Amino acid sequence: MSTARLAPADRLLLVVSIGVPLIGLALFFLYPLGTIAVRSLTATDGSIGLANYAAVLSNPGIGAATWNSLVLSAATTAICLVLGFAIAYTLQRTRLRGRGLVTVALALPMLAPSLVQGLGILFILGRNGLVHKWTGLPVDAYGFTGLLISDVFYALPQAVLILQAALRHSDARYYDAAQVMGAGRWRQFFDITLPNARFGLLSAGFVVFTVTITDFGNAAVIGGNFRVLATEIYAQVSGQMNFGMGAVVGILLLLPTLVAVAIERVATQRQFGGGSESAIPVPPDSVRARDLPLGILVHGAALSIILVVATVVFASFVRLWPYNLSLTLKNYDITIAGGYRPLWTTLEVSLVAAGLGVALLFLLAFGMKRLPPALAKLAYLAAVLPVGVPGMVLGLSYVFAFNLGDNLLGILYGGSLLIALCNFYHYHSQGFLTMMTGMRTVPPALEEAISCLGGGLGAVLRDAVLPFIATTAVSVFFFLFMRSMVTLSAVIFLITPRLSVAAVSVMRLDEAGFVSQAAAFSTCIIITVLAAMMAMRVALNWASRRRA
Amino acid sequence: MSQLLKRTLLAATALIASASAAQAGAITVYSALEEDEIAAYLAAAKTALPGVEVNVLRLSTGDLGARLIAEAANPQADAVWGFAVTNTMHPDILKQLEPYAAKGLDKVPAQFKAKDNAWFAATGYVGALCVNTEVMKAKKLPMPTSWKDLTNPAYKGELVMPNPASSGTGYLQVAAILQGAGEAEGWKLIKALDPNMAQYTTSGSKPCKMARAGEFAIGASLAFVAMQSIEQGYPVKMVIPSDYAGYELEASGLMKSSKNKADAKAFLDWTLSADAAKLYASFKEMTTLPGAPQSAMAKKAGLPADLTKVLYPMDFAKSAKEREGILKTWQATVGR
């Protein structure tokens, strides 16, 4: 569909639908990132050059940290892709029991503050954890193993988000044809299911790799002496107040995101299988030989996640973990760090971030294939770049970019809207890739048919795109909502004395030495988010039933 | 649709409006003091200064330092309150401070304030070892009294200390050893400790939290965290190393950019008042204001009444200046 053929109103709609998200990306991501690039080139004495890069590369610890980061991210990616695909497949294509439980379990790492899984793993697998107490074995979760476990917990739900979108719509006729031709189930899986999910797998692998390499929270809690690049940034910026060197590591961490260019190439190829206007949905089925091992794997993963979070929730009701396990509610009496007020602020911020975010992502994903190829490539790269930026770097970049006094952009500084925007752009890549994966299942022929019949762009959106993308859009909304509720590393640079968020409360309680209260506050966040999501689901169901 | 748009715009305006904080009689103060003490101090300051609304942003030393430097182009705070002096001396932060001779500053001994009055410290914190008595008993380890004791191979894998490259607490411990023992002997001691060290943590309070949870026997951390752990009921004994006990001053100062200097000054004056000194006594293991009694918590934890006897007289200017070099050597010798 070329732009020239469009009616003026449609052209306007198209320009807005692409223009607004692109301007947003430029203003709230590329421009702040630019300030970091400038910092990385500014030496301590104020001169411009590559001095910081030279200093970082000659730093004795940097080689080991880079190697550690790469090994850790590769291992996390391998595990998350296998496990994530098994889970997504189970949820979309099987009738395995307890799928609801798996969905809830997967939401937990996304809606629990990062402190929770670190604490949980230590409570269970720490040197003085439950396993040690019950078995007497010398366990030690610190270092690579513990970090790998917590990174898998952290990244797995994000992989499943994308993989589910990839498996959501497919065409049963391919499977029927394969069956008729005598292809076995394995053959069907390798020749139809996997190739169809190729874009999703690539995107998920990309997201897992980059979120792992940029994550600081898990590394600080459980990494022990296993130094990674994200802890190097923290040591430079927070430990030594050396912004130039920190900025350099931040820029270097963007390198893995350039792989995204290759993914984009795959994205422009047509794929068979999904996206046909007359597709017959693949019905979930039960196959004993497949479902038993799959069930063990998937439920094993889900139960591990629940166990870790449940341990922390339990500890929040305990007088003094692990010495006095009598139960109490006193940890919930939180008065310092602003009490429970930040929880409500965060709810507001997260609704804005998710609502605004899903609308912008939808428009961007819809507009993408209507852009000229060269521009599309650039837009694509910009859209997936945020995942390569560690939260701390993003937060600092927002200070550089928006702490300007009373001009138009400066007015945002110190307000909750900027926090919402920061949270959204922090998780822009995951939302975008999920939306694009979902968008690929929209049958192009259907869009063409509607426009041939004289339907405008609006009609295409309403009748072709929306029905196919609605489920994925809702999952993206919830993803953004959950992450915005608990993300920490960027927002600590944007909060003010009067405006704080829940994740900061958890951090402050933990820093003040009140670990049980931090666990209690985290429990309140988890319950609030779950309740809010349930309420929204009910409202959504009600609305869609009324429309139908 | 237009109704929805209008409402969204209204909401957006409200969100933006919540940003503008500047308000007569209100000041913004950045602080790295502990959460519960801030609450107590502010309650008292409110009675003493009824016309001033003090809004405090509390962050850890490292995060607050990063934020202060990042905001340098357009500083948001009116005053800095209780912020590690080593970090205060960072040129990008120091240049944001305006010399101010607060009321009562003459009572503060010279080593606890800047020559030009850009900062002064009313309080400080002391490095200490958190020893888990249950783990010590179970593993039959001898109670240490000094850093030197900790080189005993019996402690192998049972010690934790903060990484000086990422934690101010870690740096103050390393700096105290180096200043106390001298370069050559100091590095020898640090190297001798390394085989026993299970971990160098990112944050300064973490070693104590690990020790109190029974994950390791001994965590080199801060007296404050140790005292609080004892107060909360953990099986912890606090040991101030008898050879090189480091400490850090908590500096306060006026921001040059403040638009409400009168109130900011009034608040800084208050932090040196008799009122404030009385409160420091109930929270702090160390105050520079003469005549303040020792806190009950410090007494219970066994902290000596006269700290000057156990603390090595640290040279903070030197410590700040040599930081980069020391960290380089540290990373090259024991850094993991």
DSSP string, A194-216: HHHTHHHHHHHHHHHHHHHHH--
Domains of chain B: 23-124+248-294 (3.40.190.10), 125-247+309-333 (3.40.190.10)
The answer to whether the Cβ–Cβ distance between A227 and B336 falls below 8 Å is yes
What local confidence, expressed as pLDDT, does residue A338 receive?
Answer: 75
Q: B2-17 and A416-426 are packed helices; what angle lies between their axes, rounded to 10 degrees?
A: 110
| Pairing verdict, β B247-255 and B79-84 | antiparallel
Is the pLDDT reported for residue B32 higher than 90? yes
Structure tokens at A212: 């792992």
Instruction: Indicate whether B295 pLDDT > 80.
Output: no
DSSP letter string, A431-456: HHHHHHHHHTTS-HHHHHHHHHTT--
Counting beta carbons within 10 angstroms of the beta carbon of residue A49, is it exposed (0 to 12), middle (13 to 18) or buried (19 or more)?
A: exposed
Q: Which two tokens stand for residue A258?
A: 């350039």
Residue the block writes with tokens 């022929």: A445
Q: Residue A22's CB: how many other CB atoms inside 10 A?
A: 21
B191 Rama sector, left if φ>0, alpha if ψ -120 to 50, beta otherwise:
alpha
B5 lies within 8 A of chain A by CB? no
Question: Which of A128, A322, A403 minimises the CB distance to B71?
Answer: A403
* Stretch 127-166 of chain B: residues touching chain A, C-beta under 8 Å: 135, 163, 165-166
Q: How far apart are CA A266 and CA A190, in angstroms?
A: 18
Pairing of strands B97-98, B247-255: antiparallel
Q: What is the pLDDT of residue A387?
A: 92
Tokens in use for B305?
């009444």
- A chain contacts of residue B332, beta-carbon cutoff 8 Å: 60
Q: What is the pLDDT of residues A161-175, one digit of tens each?
A: 999 988 887 788 888
- Whether B291 has its CB under 8 Å from any CB of chain A: the answer is no
- Does residue B76 have a pLDDT over 90? yes
Q: Residue B291 pLDDT > 50, yes or no?
A: yes
Which token pair is B92?
Answer: 């990008």
User: Quick one: pLDDT at residue A6?
Assistant: 67
Nearest chain A alpha carbon to B89: A241
Residue showing tokens 């900062």: B119
Chain B residue whose CA is closest to A217? B202
DSSP alpha helices (H): ranges in A242-340?
243-252, 260-268, 288-315
- Beta carbons of B70 and A399 less than 8 Å apart: yes
Band (B270; pLDDT cuts 50, 70, 90)? very high
Q: Which residues of chain B form beta strands (DSSP E)? A: 26-31, 53-58, 79-84, 97-98, 120-132, 159-162, 197-201, 218-222, 236-239, 247-255, 286-287
Give B-chain residues touching A495 at CB under 8 angstroms. Answer: 57
Q: State residue B7's pLDDT score.
A: 59
* Test mutation, A127, A144, A331, A406, chain B, max B CBs within 10 A: A127
Tell me, what's the pLDDT at B1?
43
Residue B221 phi, psi dihedral angles, 5° rounding: -150, -135
Are the Cβ atoms of B69 and A243 closer than 8 angstroms? Answer: yes
| Cα A337 from Cα A315, distance rounded (Å) | 20
Host H or E run for residue A327: strand A324-327
Query: What are the Cα distances from residue B87, in Å, to A188, B250, B331?
Result: 62, 10, 20
Model confidence at B332: pLDDT above 60: yes
What angle separates helix A8-25 from helix A341-368, to the nearest 10 degrees?
130
CA-to-CA dists, residue B141 to A401, A427, B133, B216, B278, angstroms: 54, 49, 9, 12, 39
Give tens-digit pLDDT for A219-277: 988 998 898 998 888 888 888 888 898 999 999 989 888 877 777 676 666 655 455 66
Our CA-based measurement puts residue B109 at a distance from the nearest CA of chain A, in whole angstroms, of: 28
Q: Are B163 and B177 in contact (CB under 8 A)?
A: no
Q: Which chain B residues contact residue A410 at CB under 8 A?
A: 74
The shortest CB-CB distance from B12 to any of A220, A417, A492 is to A417
For B21-98, list the strands marked E by DSSP. Answer: 26-31, 53-58, 79-84, 97-98
pLDDT reading at A74 higher than 90 = yes
Please say whether the beta carbons of A504 and A423 come within 8 A.
no
Residues of B in contact with A225 (CB under 8 A): 199-200, 336
pLDDT (mean) for A490-510 = 90
Residue A464: CB atoms within 10 Å: 22
φ, ψ dihedrals at A320, nearest 5°: -150, 90
pLDDT bin (cut points 50, 70, 90) of residue A3 is: very low
Model confidence over A141-194: pLDDT tens digits? 899 999 999 999 999 999 999 999 888 877 888 888 998 999 888 899 998 898
Q: Which of A196-210, B9-23, B127-141, B269-283 has the lowest mean pLDDT?
A: B9-23
What the block records as the tokens of A108 is: 């937990």
Higher-confidence residue of A21 and A375: namely: A21
Contact of B39 with chain A, judged by CB distance below 8 Å, is answered with yes
Residue A487 has pLDDT above 70, yes or no: yes
Q: How high does pLDDT run on average in chain A?
A: 88
Q: What gap in Å lies between CA B228 and CA B232, rounded to an integer?
A: 6
Q: Which residues of B fall within a CB distance of 8 Å from A418?
A: 19
Looking at residue B18, its pLDDT comes to 46
| Mutant choice from A133, A241, A243 vs B, greatest count of B C-beta within 10 A | A241
Tokens found for residue A112: 């629990």
- Listed residue (B82, B117, B84, B87) closest to B102, CA to CA: B117
pLDDT of residue B158: 96
The domains located in chain A, with CATH, are 3-268+288-547 (1.10.3720.10)
pLDDT tops 90 at residue B215? yes
Distance between CA atoms of residues A238 and A334, nearest Å: 28
Nearest to A512 among B36, B69, B235 (CB): B36
- Residue range A394-422, pLDDT digits in tens: 999 999 999 987 777 888 998 999 999 99
Note which residues in 211-240 of chain B have CB less than 8 A from chain A. Answer: 213-216, 225, 228-229, 232-235
Peptide bond into A195 cis (omega under 30): no
Tokens 């439920």 belong to residue: A299
Cβ neighbours of A345 (radius 10 Å): 19
Helices (H), A316-340: none
CA-closest candidate to residue B171, choices A513, A241, A43, A233: A241
Q: Which residues of A224-259 are buried (b: 16+ CB within 10 A; e: fewer)?
A: bebbbbbbbbbbbbbbbbbbbbbbbbbbbbbebbeb
Residues A191, A115: contact at Cβ < 8 Å? Answer: no
Distance, C-alpha B147 to centroid of its chain: 21
- Please check whether residue A112 is in contact with residue A150, taking contact to mean a CB–CB distance below 8 angstroms: no
Contact yes or no for A522/A514 (Cβ under 8 A): no
Across the interface, of B18, B21, B215, the residue whose CB is closest to A127 is B215
Q: Find the residue in A nearest to B168 (Cα).
A: A239
Q: What are phi and psi of A353, to 5 degrees?
A: -60, -45
Q: In Å, what is the CA distance from A145 to each residue of A209, A355, A547, B115?
A: 17, 37, 50, 51
Task: Name which of B90, B93, B166 is nearest A234 (Cβ-Cβ).
Answer: B166
The whole-angstrom distance between A232's CA and the closest CA on chain B is 8
* All residues at 6 or more sequence positions from A508 whose CB lies less than 8 Å from its CB, including other chains: A336, A337, B35, B58
Cα nearest neighbour of A220 on chain B: B202
Rounded to the nearest 5 percent, the helix, strand and coil shares of chain A are 75, 0, 20
Average pLDDT of A92-115? 91
- % pLDDT > 70, chain A: 96
